[in-house]
Amino acid sequence: MLSALDQLREERIGKINADDVFPKPKFGSKTCLWPQYTCSASKYRSLDGSCNNLKNPLFGRAGIPFVRLLDSQYDNGVDSLRTKGVKKDLPGSRKLSTKVSLHQSHPHPLKTQAVMGFGQFLDHDFNFTPQETTYVDDDGVMRDVDCGHDGCDSTNPACSPIPVPSNDPAFNVDCLKFFRSVGIQDLTCSSGKREQENGVTAFIDGSQIYGSSVADSMALRDQSDLSRLNVTQHPFDSKLKALLPQIPTGCAMQGEYKCFTAGDGRVNEHHGLSIFHTIGHREHNRVEEVLHDLNPQWSGEKLFQEARQIVWAELQVITFKEFLPAILSAATLAKYDLELLEEGYYNDYDEEVDPSMANHFATATFRYGHSTVANEMETLSTSWDRLNFYKLRDVCECGIDGFMRGIVDQRSERCDRHLPVEMTDHLLLWDALSKSRERTDLFALNIRRARDHGLPGYNAYRGHCGLPKLTNFQKPDVFQDKSTSRVFRKQYQSVDDIDIFAGGISESPLAGGMVGETFSCLMGEQFEKLRKGDRFWFENPGVFTKEQLMEIRKASLGKVFCDNSDHIQVMQPNVMEVPFREAFPENNFKKYNVLDHGLSEAEFMDRWVNNFNARVACNELPTIDLGKWKDPM
């Protein structure tokens, strides 16, 4: 009799072999091993994303190369980092960080930290770039890459140290460690140029909760019934909702606090992200429990898949109904068909659309959110009074509910060139060799990573979007302030040298959004493909019944927070924004310059008079009626 794991392997679509092996031809290898699939239609998504597109089975699959909008620009034309500018070498990424990002705080009056938190959680759903942190030695033994005790050893090709200026204000070291992204061949193995791998599925499918392979998924599931996800009982109070499963040994967030495990390995980057993972984990088990009560005859596998399908559909709704309207202007949403239908099915699925992650999107564009992170996260009491602030590097015993209240109350930082000091001078990343967290600079890493991938500069992507290219540094209407142009002029020899991340986050935001015209274009293109190129998109015919679809449309992040908290009793309907009268205490349209927020005077007046987005009791928020999933007996 087959085990549950073997049954899954037998049943899954597009299987390659019984061990779930996915051969990825590394850059420079002489063989092209990308697999061929024979697909059949299935009611449920495959965990690795294969066969979502029956005509092009690899579209969006975990483990394939990022796609490119523009040709790579490696120094040697093949695989070396982009370090050469038009006239001379590009500025060092750590030096650039210290000159461009001045740690200034510019809180957004309306957007909350839920925009940043959900954005990072979403990013880990569809984007992960593996790094060259291990290698096989001459004896066939897997070893960790060692870039030297000071991080400056570049004799190993996986190491590409980031030089630290001698007068650096925060780091008393010569180098910051930098591991190159794993190099693989393109899907035709014909370009001869280095490409990078997306280690997770490109779809909005909850893979950060469930994993991007059968093996990862099985490791997360309760083996007694296979329908629920494993948990850790709360260590302080058994009456509190369970936490994520913990890694027993070999990893500690800080001191005695063990790391959590989830569908994505980055779950422990900071406590805000861990909370989103915990909520997603709890939501699956909550939905599964209701479905089990409604349909006790269902197998564990069917319960798991049905609950998973509801959860990833909730993620899609929240992304398009709450998150994208928070960061993109109304005009951008309309241009790229990012507005959800209010009723009926979506009939624009196109098997010719490739939803695979674009290299620039994963490596630079969607990293815009690093600029919106607050230097400290606040926690609030049950009465919504401020309890404390915690730095991102800290671990505290302050409770999930308190942080959830803080996330929906604390203002997001504006998207601009100023990352918080916690991200540029105190970011802690796990180092496998030293078995500890090492300090580094996220701004410098972002610049270096884009150069590692051979991404062209900011101006080239403006050209791709049909926007006027910069011809000199005297164009203040593109960037948020004149000082940005002056800073760039001092650091770069040519406007064509400006790195895509630095240029993109510095643009003036479009009205009602948080990002400027270039990143709005690049995000709009990617999210349009994620909708049109997903055979399982929640609005598509055949995914849900009409009655179920109407229920799924009720999903909101606020309701998910309420349902999976212990003691939260009130919440604003849209947690990506603070209650309107908290953002604008006076009924004075001119005082707040709300045109920047995409609101007309009439819209402002209407929202203020009606106390728009005020917190309400959790039971007043729309609830998905899971009774629509009850099978007729």
What is d(CA 327, CA 311) in angstroms, rounded to the nearest whole number? 23
Residue type for position 98 = T
Catalytic residue among 124, 270, 281, 360: 124
Q: Is position 108 annotated as part of the catalytic site? A: no
Paired tokens of 389: 């602030």
Q: Read off the DSSP letter of residue 340.
A: P
CB 146 within 8 A of CB 156: yes
Other C-beta atoms closer than 10 Å to the C-beta of 7 total 13
Query: Which residue carries 């031809």 as its tokens?
Result: 25
What is d(CA 179, CA 161) in angstroms, rounded to the nearest whole number? 8
3-state secondary structure 469-517: CCCCCCCCCCECCHHHHHHHHHHCCCHHHCCHHHHHHHECCCCCCCCCH
Q: What ranges in 138-227 are assigned the alpha helix state H?
A: 207-210, 214-220
What is d(CA 91, CA 431) in angstroms, rounded to the nearest whole number? 26
For 617, the enclosing helix (H) or strand (E) is: strand 616-617
Is 370 annotated in some ligand binding site?
Answer: yes
Closest of 228, 183, 181, 205 to residue 50, by C-alpha = 205
Exposure string over 182-217, b if 16+ CB within 10 A, otherwise e? bbbbbbeeeeebbbbbbbbbbbbbbbbbbbbbbebb
Task: Report how many helices (DSSP H) and strands (DSSP E) the chain contains, helices first.
Answer: 22, 16
Strand 427-431, strand 436-440: pairing: antiparallel
What are the binding residues for heme b?
370
Q: Which residues are catalytic?
A: 124
